């Protein structure tokens, strides 16, 4: 068992463990309220730490081929697998998640890391990537242009959200390290313990070059000031913070490359013609209830808006409500509990305020307050799932708040529409989202809807009865597919298989004789100096 003591967790920077000089911030159990550990980054020499990562970690990583770096990721995966039980204990205590919800984070992280470890083998002994085919630059074919991508000579700074302390680390770090770019991770303070523990286990294993992986727990003050021209920054969090990041001199003056994943009002759409007795209707109701309750709705990809034909509104409300009513809420240590707590009191209060805000334009179809808490009381951060509704199609148009406001918890709104054109119009009022799932049985209609939604979503998840037992889930982010979204979702792109490596590489055109460019076909002999 992991010892839960209120110790001050060390940061790992410049190749050494360092304790902050301040009192630190307390991380607490969201069910019992007890203090677990403290984190603090006061007094760290950030400039020295960033320089160390660039000069030592980056140099040593670039000296390795993609195959070698992939093998390192494979070894890291084994270390994390060996400590998996400890991670589950930390998740239960600090995030308040039931075991199945912890798996979404922890096992999802391990799976993603494994995928990128195998990609290293596929890329082989190269130290750079070819980008497309050679292009003739004139009538004589001898002089040509070949684009290549080479690892950026900087550091990757990750500022992450509280809801995925494990997956949020490795879905970013795996492609960065595979690319040959050192990582500095700044986890959200509320759940930093799990991230710090994973980094600690990897550092202690000695697998990665010193300086390849660092972690700073506590305040993010001063981090962006350290970023230089060839560094990259990936942020997951609120649109407000994203706006501050985009206006920072590192971005506006030094052109630091930025990836943003921000707020997202993700949708589920039941196509016209699907009745309450259809399999597609049942699939939608099941997935909506699951997405509302997994991790207590604290997922950036969770379903926030459910669009159904106006004729199916009452039936959908009943079907989803019945499923939600069966959800037991409370202390995740009780085996009968299926939904744990919100991460802390701040988040709990924010959800309650957001609910009140949405209720001014909606009706309550299933009240989360009706759930009796199991092994928890009113002082805990446990809150039952709430389904709201806009009553009719006219209300769907008038209720602007449900299209503009994301309540980051177990809350979703049922929205009726008149026809498909109306449905697509309403979905797009989300102003860009990470994912929309579409449910139906007609392949042509599903394709039409998906293409109509693709421009405003990073991912369109199409569910028909033939894939009922196969689809990976609306909110599950798979490393083979793109994760990100346009507009209010941040405009970022992560994962997507090898596409994730693009963010950590710089593209350049080599213009030369075909004889010179032919040397690129033997990349194992060309190392990065």
Active-site positions read: 261, 300
Instruction: Output the CA angle 132-133-134, nearest 5 degrees.
Output: 130
Q: What are phi and psi of 440, to 5 degrees?
A: 180, 175
In angstroms, the Cα distances linking 439 to 287, 301, 316 are 10, 17, 13
Contacts of 134 (CB under 8 A, 6+ apart): 144, 145, 146, 514, 517
How many other C-beta atoms can be found within 10 angstroms of the C-beta atom of residue 237?
Answer: 19
Alpha carbon of residue 407 to chain centroid: 17
Give dist(CA 230, CA 153) in Å, integer.
6
Instruction: Output the CA angle 342-344-345, nearest 5 degrees.
Output: 105
In angstroms, the Cα distances linking 434 to 70, 102, 186 are 28, 22, 23
Give dist(CA 79, CA 82) in Å, integer.
5
Contacts of 1 (CB under 8 A, 6+ apart): 89
Give dist(CA 313, CA 310) in Å, integer.
5
Instruction: Output the CA angle 122-209-71, nearest 5 degrees.
Output: 25
Residue 83's H or E segment, with its range, is none
Helix (H, G, I), strand (E, B) or coil at 339: strand
Give dist(CA 100, CA 105) in Å, integer.
9
Per-residue buried b or exposed e for 193-223, using 16+ beta carbons within 10 Å of the residue's own CB: bbbbbbbbbbbeeebbbbbbbbbbbbbbeeb
DSSP, residue by residue, 396-460: HHH-HHHHH----SSEEEEEEESSHHHHHHHHHTTSSEEEEEEE-S-HHHHHHHHHHHHTTEEEE
Cβ atoms of 292 and 385 closer than 8 Å: yes
The two three-digit tokens of residue 11, written as one number:
């940061």
The two three-digit tokens of residue 302, written as one number:
């969770």
Strands 363-366 and 386-389: antiparallel
Laid out side by side, the sheet with 143-151 consists of 129-136, 143-151, 505-513
Cβ atoms of 215 and 187 closer than 8 Å: yes
Give dist(CA 399, CA 393) in Å, integer.
10
């Amino acid at each position: 068992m992991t010892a839960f003591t209120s110790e001050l967790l060390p940061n790992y920077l410049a190749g050494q463990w360092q304790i902050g000089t301040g009192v630190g911030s307390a991380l607490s159990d969201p069910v019992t309220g007890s203090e677990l550990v403290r984190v603090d980054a006061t007094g760290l020499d950030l400039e020295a730490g960033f320089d160390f990562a660039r000069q030592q970690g980056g140099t040593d990583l670039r000296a390795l081929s993609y195959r070698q770096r992939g093998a390192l990721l494979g070894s890291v995966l084994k270390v994390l697998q060996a400590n998996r039980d400890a991670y589950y204990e930390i998740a239960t205590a600090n995030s308040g998640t039931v075991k199945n919800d912890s798996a979404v984070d922890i096992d999802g992280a391990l799976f993603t890391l494994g995928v990128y470890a195998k990609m290293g083998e596929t890329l082989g002994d190269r130290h750079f990537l070819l980008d497309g085919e050679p292009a003739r630059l004139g009538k004589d074919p001898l002089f040509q242009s070949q684009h290549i991508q080479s690892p950026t000579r900087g550091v990757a700074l990750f500022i992450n959200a509280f809801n995925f302390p494990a997956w949020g680390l490795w879905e970013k770090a795996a492609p960065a390290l595979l690319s040959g770019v050192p990582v500095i991770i700044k986890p959200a303070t509320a759940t930093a313990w799990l991230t710090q523990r994973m980094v600690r286990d990897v550092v202690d294993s000695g697998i990665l070059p010193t300086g390849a992986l660092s972690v700073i727990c506590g305040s993010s003050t001063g981090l962006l000031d350290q970023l230089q021209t060839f560094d990259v920054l990936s942020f997951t969090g609120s649109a407000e913070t994203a706006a501050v990041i985009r206006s920072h001199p590192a971005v506006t003056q030094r052109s630091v490359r930025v990836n943003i994943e921000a707020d997202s009002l993700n949708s589920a759409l039941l196509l016209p013609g699907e009745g309450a007795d259809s399999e597609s209707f049942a699939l939608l109701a099941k997935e909506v209830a699951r997405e509302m309750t997994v991790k207590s709705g604290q997922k950036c990809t969770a379903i926030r808006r459910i669009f159904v034909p106006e004729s199916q509104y009452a039936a959908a409300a009943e079907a989803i409500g019945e499923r939600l009513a069966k959800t037991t809420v409370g202390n995740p240590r009780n085996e009968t509990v299926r939904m744990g707590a919100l991460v802390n009191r701040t988040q709990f209060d924010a959800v309650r305020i957001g609910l009140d805000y949405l209720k001014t334009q909606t009706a309550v179809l299933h009240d989360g307050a009706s759930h009796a808490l199991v092994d928890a009381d009113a002082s805990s951060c446990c809150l039952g799932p709430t389904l709201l509704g806009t009553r009719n199609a006219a209300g769907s148009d008038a209720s602007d708040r449900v299209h503009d406001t994301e309540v980051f918890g177990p809350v979703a709104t049922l929205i009726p529409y008149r026809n498909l054109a109306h449905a697509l119009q309403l979905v797009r009022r989300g102003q860009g989202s990470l994912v929309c799932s579409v449910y139906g049985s007609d392949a042509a209609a599903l394709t039409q809807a998906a293409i109509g939604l693709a421009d405003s979503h990073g991912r369109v998840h199409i569910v028909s009865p033939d894939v009922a037992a196969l689809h990976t889930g609306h909110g599950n982010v798979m490393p083979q597919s793109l994760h990100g979204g346009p507009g209010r979702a941040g405009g970022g792109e992560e994962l997507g298989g090898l596409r994730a490596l693009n963010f950590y590489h710089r593209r350049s055109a080599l213009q030369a004789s075909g004889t010179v460019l032919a040397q690129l076909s033997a990349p194992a002999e060309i190392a990065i100096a």
